[in-house]
């Protein structure tokens, strides 16, 4: 058989397999298609701290060189007057609010070649700067909140309020609201220029950093010191808000916490956790681990700082080196050494509800009805050019 025709048949077979598996709504088989963007492609610094999409679908990136945009065809770069790194992004209408080192403000971009940066740092009265980057932001109906880990400010139009200064803690964005957690005192709801204490029995030595939606009336609480919890946040009585916390059996919890969770998202298909040491973990809605996105799954970096979802819910990652796009709805999947295939594959064939893969050194077999997501080597240790029923 002509080799070109053979490769076309294999590609069509893999496409059919991907569609079949999606139609049966079973655990994803294989890894999704990954596209890495190297620094030379977007003409920027290697490290990327934040990533988001605006209402038109344009991608915005907080990069070591400044602010970067991508419209699907062209990458464009916008600099701060100091030429420092941009560390976080929040977009409201036509303003792109950013945080940097001892600095925060916004970009007005009227065209790709015409833009203006407005600094708001000097409007923050009695703010004690700690020589840190404003890495964290939360967009709400009350404006944009930003934090450098030691202070929290609110930006509303061109006005700035200082809510906390010289107070260590985590700024948390959840359901269009902003919260601040301090390990010594607990959790606060940020409402306008005020902070409201939320009563709760917080875990000892806790470091609550993120909330995720769970059910209609509960949420997941991510604590990078003590684990992942389930909680119920009661804000109906705004004078006396409360948070109840209970233990939750989350798969791979210890591994996630050990790898340090940097960001998390809930999607229509599941939950996503990006980490400092272990890449990104993708679960379905029942918390079954679907796959881990790391260097073994073709990503060029293991430290994934932030997650963004495009209008089609494909995953975009701002990484310590480069950017990655993961096509979650593409029927093509990658089956590689993490699935037991330790050599190049030359041919595939279905037989008795099994998928056989012929390689340079072995014949591999996967029993589809058992959904193990793993190929086993057979006793045939030889080159397998062609498989026929």
**Nearest to 230, CA basis, from 242, 217, 241, 218:** 218
Q: Which one is predicted more confidently, 175 or 1?
A: 175
Per-position DSSP letters for 155-216, written without gaps between them: EETTEEEEEESS---EEEEETTEEEEEETTTEEEEEETTEEEEEEE-PPTT--EEEEEE-ST
Per-position DSSP letters for 17-76, written without gaps between them: HHHHHHHTT-S--SEEEEEEE-HHHHTS-S-EEEEEE-TTS-EEEEETTEEEEE-SS-EE
Give the model confidence (pLDDT) of 147-168 as tens digits. 999 999 999 989 999 999 999 9
Beta strand 103-111 pairing with 95-100: antiparallel
Long-range contacts of 213-219 (CB under 8 A, 24+ apart): 213/175, 213/266, 219/174
Q: Given this model, what pLDDT does residue 387 score?
A: 74
Degrees to nearest 5, angle at CA 74 with 72 and 78: 120
Give the model confidence (pLDDT) of 105-147 as tens digits. 999 988 777 899 999 999 999 898 888 999 999 999 999 999 9
d(CA 348, CA 352): 13
Q: Given this model, what pLDDT does residue 12 score?
A: 46
Mean pLDDT of the region 380-386: 75
Q: For tokens 């089956």, what's the residue?
A: 335
Q: For tokens 């976080």, what's the residue?
A: 88
Give the model confidence (pLDDT) of 43-60 as tens digits. 999 999 999 999 999 999
Structure tokens at 124: 């923050």
Widest Cα–Cα separation across the chain: 78
Q: Is the dihedral of CA 149, 151, 154, 160 positive or negative?
A: negative
pTM reported for the whole predicted model: 0.83
Asked whether residue 345 carries a pLDDT value surpassing 50, the answer given is yes
Q: Given this model, what pLDDT does residue 347 score?
A: 79
Q: Given this model, what pLDDT does residue 194 score?
A: 94
d(CA 325, CA 42): 13
Q: Given this model, what pLDDT does residue 141 score?
A: 93
Structure tokens at 330: 């593409």
Degrees to nearest 5, angle at CA 91 with 197 and 159: 60
Structure tokens at 72: 């699907």
Q: For tokens 């957690």, what's the residue?
A: 181
Q: Which one is predicted more confidently, 343 or 22?
A: 343
Give the model confidence (pLDDT) of 191-227 as tens digits. 999 999 999 988 888 999 999 999 999 999 999 999 9
Q: Given this model, what pLDDT does residue 16 score?
A: 47
Report whether 217 contacts 224 (CB < 8 A).
no
Asked whether residue 230 carries a pLDDT value surpassing 50, the answer given is yes
Asked whether residue 5 carries a pLDDT value surpassing 80, the answer given is no
CA contacts within 13 A on the Cβ side of 178: 27
Using 50, 70 and 90 to split pLDDT, how confident is the model at 238?
Answer: confident
């Amino acid at each position: 058989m002509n080799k070109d025709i053979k490769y076309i048949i294999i590609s069509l077979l893999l496409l059919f397999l991907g569609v079949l598996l999606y139609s049966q709504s079973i655990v994803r088989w294989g890894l999704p298609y990954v596209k890495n963007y190297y620094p030379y492609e977007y003409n920027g610094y290697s490290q990327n701290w934040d990533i988001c999409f605006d209402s038109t679908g344009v991608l915005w990136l907080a990069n070591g060189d400044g602010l970067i945009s991508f419209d699907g065809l062209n990458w464009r770069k916008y600099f701060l007057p100091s030429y420092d790194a941009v560390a976080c992004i929040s977009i409201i209408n036509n303003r792109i609010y950013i945080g940097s080192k001892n600095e925060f403000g916004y970009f007005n971009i009227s065209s790709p070649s015409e833009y203006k940066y407005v600094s708001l740092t000097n409007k923050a009265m009695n703010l004690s700067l700690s020589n840190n980057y404003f890495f964290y932001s939360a967009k709400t109906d009350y404006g944009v909140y930003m934090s450098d880990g030691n202070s929290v400010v609110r930006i509303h139009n061109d006005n700035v309020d200082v809510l906390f200064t010289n107070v260590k803690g985590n700024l948390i964005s959840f359901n269009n609201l902003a919260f601040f957690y301090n390990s010594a005192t607990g959790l606060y709801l940020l409402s306008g220029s005020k902070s409201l204490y939320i009563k709760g029995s917080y875990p000892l030595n806790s470091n609550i950093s993120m909330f995720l939606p769970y059910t209609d009336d509960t949420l997941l609480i991510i604590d990078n010191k003590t684990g992942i919890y389930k909680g119920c946040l009661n804000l109906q009585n705004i004078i006396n808000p409360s948070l109840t916390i209970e233990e939750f059996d989350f798969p791979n919890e210890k591994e996630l916490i050990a790898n340090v969770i940097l960001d998390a998202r809930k999607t229509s298909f599941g939950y996503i956790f990006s980490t400092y040491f272990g890449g990104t973990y993708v679960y379905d809605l029942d918390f079954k681990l679907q796959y881990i996105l790391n260097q073994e799954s073709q990503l060029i970096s293991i430290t994934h700082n932030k997650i963004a979802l495009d209008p089609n819910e494909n995953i975009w990652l701002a990484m310590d080196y480069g950017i990655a796009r993961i096509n979650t709805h593409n029927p093509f999947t990658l089956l590689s050494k993490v699935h037991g295939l330790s050599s190049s594959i030359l041919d595939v064939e279905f037989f008795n509800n099994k998928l056989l893969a012929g390689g340079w050194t072995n014949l591999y077999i996967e029993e589809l009805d058992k959904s193990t997501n793993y190929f086993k080597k057979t006793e045939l240790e030889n080159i397998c050019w062609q498989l026929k029923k």
